[in-house]
Chains A and B, each alone.
With several copies, the nearest count.
Chain A
Amino acid sequence: MIKVLLFAELQERAGKSEVMVEADSISVQELKEKYLLKYDMADLLAQAMLAVNEEYSEEDTVLKSGDTVAFIPPVSGG
């Protein structure tokens, strides 16, 4: 299982803060294409950075079962 975390507008669009995906050895890009298209948030995902296990990461990072991938919309703290 891979845990997908969604924040801010991504979370509102998906209607949930967390998606569990039954997958292993899959790149972030593949994960988006195979499991996240149904949430109709591709435009927002395209603008988001991403983090794997709480560290900034890239689209071609390969996720293992047990990993957590978070999609980080442009930040606005401060």
Chain B
Amino acid sequence: MERYWITPQPISIDECINKVVRPEAGAISTFIGIAREFTRGKRTLYLEYEAYIPMAVKQLERIGDEIGTKWPDTLVSIAHRTGRLNISEVAVAIAVSSPHRDQAFKASRYAIERIKEIVPIWKKEHWEDGTKWIGDQKETISYVENNKSAKEGQSD
């Protein structure tokens, strides 16, 4: 049962959760990133995600491995969407189970931070007045340095 996947289809949170349920687990922490309509007053019509799929899956697995080293009793599942997403659709779903809640919370937070650092997936904002590929959200700057919209794409 694959616990990491990239898909053009709508993501089922339950599917993610079911992959980490096990008798040893008492806690599951999930993180869900959804398409937000307004960012600092600017309206997003829809988002578009592109992925370097085989490498992205490998990097998701790597994040799972890192979490397994940091918090040995956890089990992780991550799904990321590609293609066009309307407002409130799920872009990413992370589920982490553990015997007790502290590890699950820390690990799911760690997972989303690492996704924003190392997984080759890109978001394109489609606004009322234009489009832009968003880059480098961790530092809240665009990789197109001279773009006036450079700060729009910050942490989701």
Contacts and interface: CB of A to CB of B under 8 A. Distances in A.
Instruction: Consider the complex of A and B and state whether they touch directly, i.e. have CB atoms less than 8 Å apart.
Output: yes
Given A8-B50, A75-B121, 4 more contacts: A9-B144, A12-B133, A76-B136, A76-B137
Contact of B51 (A9, A54, A56, A77): A77
B119 A75 contact: yes
A13 B33 CA distance: 28
Contact of A77 (B58, B92, B143): B92
A67 B62 CA distance: 22
Interface of B is mostly: mixed
B3 interface: no
Interface in A46-78: 47, 51, 54-56, 70, 72-78
Could you say which interface size class chain B belongs to?
A: 20 to 34
A9 B145 CA distance: 13
Interface of A: 5, 7-9, 11-12, 44, 47, 51, 54-56, 70, 72-78
A10 B56 CA distance: 17
